Amino acid sequence: METENKTFICHKCGGTVIITENQNLASCPSCNSLIPLPYFMTTSDPKINSETFNNMLNRVNKASEYNIEGQFHRAFNLYDKLIKNYYNLQIEDYYPYFGKLLSQFGVIYNLNDKLQYELVCLNILDEPVTVNENYLKMMELADANTKEIIHHIANEIDQYQKHIQKEIIDISSSDVTLLVDTSDSNPKALEDLELAKTIQHKFSEKQVKITVTEDLFKNGLSYEFSKEIYAIDNLSSHLVVISSNFEHLNNNLFRHVWMNYYSSSELKSTINERMFIICDEQENIDSLPINTLRFYKTSDLEKLCFDLNKSAKFIRKDNEKVLNSAPQHEELFELLNNQEFEKVKEILYEKIDTVPMDYVEWWLLYLTKHNIANEVELKNKVINPIESYYFRKCYLYAPRSIKRKLHEYYFNTINQNLVVDEKYENEVKKIQKSYFKKEIAKLILSGLFVLLVTLTCFWTLTFSSLTSAIFIIALNGIAYGILFKRIYNILNVGRVPGTIQTDIEKQHYYQQIRKALDPKQAALFLPNYFTKRNKKRVLVIVAICLISTLSFVIKDIIVKVQNNNLTYYYVFNEVVITGGYGDEIVIPEFIDGREVVKIANKAFYGNVNLKSITISEGVEEIGSLAFSNCSNLEYVKVPSTINRVRNTPFTGSNKIKNFVYDGNIITYTKFLGENYKQEMLDITFEEYSETK
């Protein structure tokens, strides 16, 4: 076929690549990736006419679209059809095998935060890419340049798989995984999550371990997403999918999770006993690709729980059958029981070089490596299984039911391994004791600081004044901030990350700390040996501080209620009035046991509501313009104890009709201003003296 412009879809980003000449590789303008091309696009072979070319191009492009959308099974089928096309033409091409490889491993390229496309594998297989039949076939057919690109992709997939497989051993298994659709597209996401928690609660007393998985797609396609899927596939006996949104339930990636679970199940005949889907839109269920699943409405909760419980018993019996069904290895186990370890090694080492070994044989190698003859010795032997190559191989090839048992053994062994060096532990205790001694001393000082702040508040501060209230809050905020910082330093010792939940996982975490750090470094991360004593000390100090602070607050509230129409502040044992509310105000002799000695500058300046002011005995000073421009003020009573008046405090209050003052120190001119006689013609002075 003659060379012409050909449109090709990039398998990475889905961008369009225009091929203008016969070439084996092309550069995608969208993602700048170098991509391999199928044979029919790179040749002028007369066997490939225009109709055949277009048919093959459509299939390749459609397969790429399916892969990008996560419809890997459809892409795989199209690549198979492409191989048949080539077979009919008596032509061989590496490209369909390349596409089948990407579909098999569920390869999608995700745009990361750096706007770069990174590989994500949604199907983690128990084999390296280099032994995959599709990989071997395409490496046989591809040219040197293409081989280099394919080999690089294969290495990426292998590295990705190894990381996932390595980390999965640290995730504890579960009897049931509840996969909840909490995406924004689900209008009942919160109700679905509550339903999952209800199911979890119902099984809490039945010794059935249930894991709730939510926000699976929250962070998009990522490493964590792949690990979550792989954990569901390998470590959960049952999968329950909960989604009130059928559209999302039918979403390619969401559906891929349980289809992957379906395909990875070692006992397909019982898959309907292992998988359950809750969706209220039952009328749409028929369009889903798997018709062997069991569907429930949200109202069928009791029936679901009953079926799950029944299924769990069935699965346990089924798992026992899997464990005991290895008659071909009876001879090896017998040799092992007789402690003929070298003989077992010899037989197995010969097999390694000839045929692939199953998980039982790798397990036997693990046992012989550590000279373990039976289960009693296995329980008593102190080993870290994850460090063993043979154990990892056994885990890699084991079916799901065996993986769960290997997990139990692994975590139990980790727990057993916690018999650590006594000298190391004593050193940790010594360091923790010294650390806590210093921190408790700092905590006591912080508590004293809180008490000092409270005492200061008692002496000089009140919530009655805004400035004073802000000062109280700021001072107590600083004091309690320091106090709780000290408490955090004490109680945070030995606290594990929030992602670690079970006791076994905690012990594993502590064990890793002991291995990685010396006692001085590890002391703050290992269990707190003085927890009870420290908690008592913390509680006592916090209680004292809170009681003192609350007593101040309660006292101040009571005082404020008693003097609710006045604003004021304290200066040690004295009170300064700064204002008030209402038409009749009485300024008392005492507030909170403190003597009222002064009315502040402009305290009631311009108060149009004020009609009567009575100042009790004991007040010594009235500030500048304290009652000026009170346009409705009519009655004033000033005590004889007033000995200082600043800047005519009543000037401008021209409606005063009755002014009571029985002292002889201050003249009325100082109270009312020079022109009070002309301005206030109707004023009456009680006990007025001519000397004034």
More confident position, 90 or 684: 90
- CA pair distance 348, 367, nearest whole angstrom: 12
3-class secondary structure, 626: coil
The mean pLDDT value for 325-333 works out to: 71
555: Cβ–Cβ under 8 A, 6 or more apart, which residues?
Answer: 458, 592
pLDDT in tens, 483-520: 999 888 888 887 877 666 555 567 667 777 887 888 88
Would you put residue 368 in left (φ > 0), alpha (ψ -120 to 50) or beta? alpha
Among 10-24, 201-215, 279-293, name the one with the lowest average pLDDT: 279-293
**Which span out of 215-219, 435-439, 682-686 was modeled with the highest average pLDDT?**
435-439
Amino acid identity, position 254: F
Q: Does residue 268 register a pLDDT over 50?
A: no
pLDDT score, position 55: 86
pLDDT score, position 662: 75
Q: How far is CA 377 from CA 137, 339, 368, 371, 374, in A?
A: 46, 11, 12, 9, 6
- CA pair distance 545, 541, nearest whole angstrom: 6
More confident position, 463 or 319: 463
The mean pLDDT value for 305-330 works out to: 62
Q: Does residue 436 register a pLDDT over 50?
A: yes
The mean pLDDT value for 330-344 works out to: 84
pLDDT in tens, 130-159: 888 889 998 888 888 888 888 889 999 888
Identify the DSSP state of 692: -
Would you put residue 689 in left (φ > 0), alpha (ψ -120 to 50) or beta? beta
Tokens 């050909």 identify what position? 6
CATH H superfamily, domain 174-323: Toll/interleukin-1 receptor homology (TIR) domain (3.40.50.10140)
pLDDT in tens, 54-84: 888 888 889 888 888 778 888 888 988 888 8
More confident position, 524 or 682: 524
DSSP string, 99-139: HHHHHHTTEEEEE-TTS-EEEEES---SS-GGG-HHHHHHH
The mean pLDDT value for 411-431 works out to: 72
Q: How confident is the model at residue 622 (pLDDT cuts 50, 70, 90)?
A: very high
Helices (H), 70-117: 72-88, 95-104
pLDDT in tens, 388-399: 778 877 877 777
647: Cβ–Cβ under 8 A, 6 or more apart, which residues?
Answer: 624, 625
Q: Does residue 279 register a pLDDT over 50?
A: yes
Q: How do beta strands 635-638 and 612-615 pair?
A: parallel
pLDDT score, position 9: 86
Q: Which residues pair with 579 in a beta bridge?
A: 567
Query: Is residue 394 within 8 Å of residue 363, measured between CB atoms?
Result: yes
Q: How confident is the model at residue 323 (pLDDT cuts 50, 70, 90)?
A: very low
pLDDT in tens, 169-199: 667 677 778 888 777 777 788 888 888 888 8
Identify the DSSP state of 656: -
What's the whole-number average pLDDT of the chain?
Answer: 78
Query: Is residue 85 within 8 Å of residue 39, measured between CB atoms?
Result: no
Q: Does residue 691 register a pLDDT over 50?
A: no
pLDDT score, position 281: 57
pLDDT score, position 179: 80
Helices (H) and strands (E) counted in the chain, each on its own, are 23, 22
Structure tokens at 61: 């492009």
As a whole-number percent, the residues of the chain with pLDDT over 90 amount to 11
pLDDT score, position 587: 92
Q: Does residue 219 register a pLDDT over 70?
A: no
Q: Which residues pair with 239 in a beta bridge?
A: 177, 275
Distance from CA of residue 263 to its chain's centroid? 31
For the chain, the domains span 6-168, 174-323, 327-416, 422-558, 564-686
Which among 7, 2, 1, 14 is positioned nearest to 57, based on CA atoms? 7
- CA pair distance 215, 211, nearest whole angstrom: 13
More confident position, 422 or 382: 422
The mean pLDDT value for 596-624 works out to: 92
pLDDT in tens, 349-378: 877 766 667 788 888 888 888 888 877 777
Query: Is residue 659 within 8 Å of residue 634, measured between CB atoms?
Result: no
Indicate the CATH number of 564-686 among 3.40.50.2300, 2.60.40.10, 3.90.190.10, 3.80.10.10.
3.80.10.10
- pTM for the complete prediction? 0.53
Q: How confident is the model at residue 690 (pLDDT cuts 50, 70, 90)?
A: very low
- CA pair distance 435, 534, nearest whole angstrom: 12
More confident position, 505 or 162: 162
Q: Does residue 544 register a pLDDT over 90?
A: yes
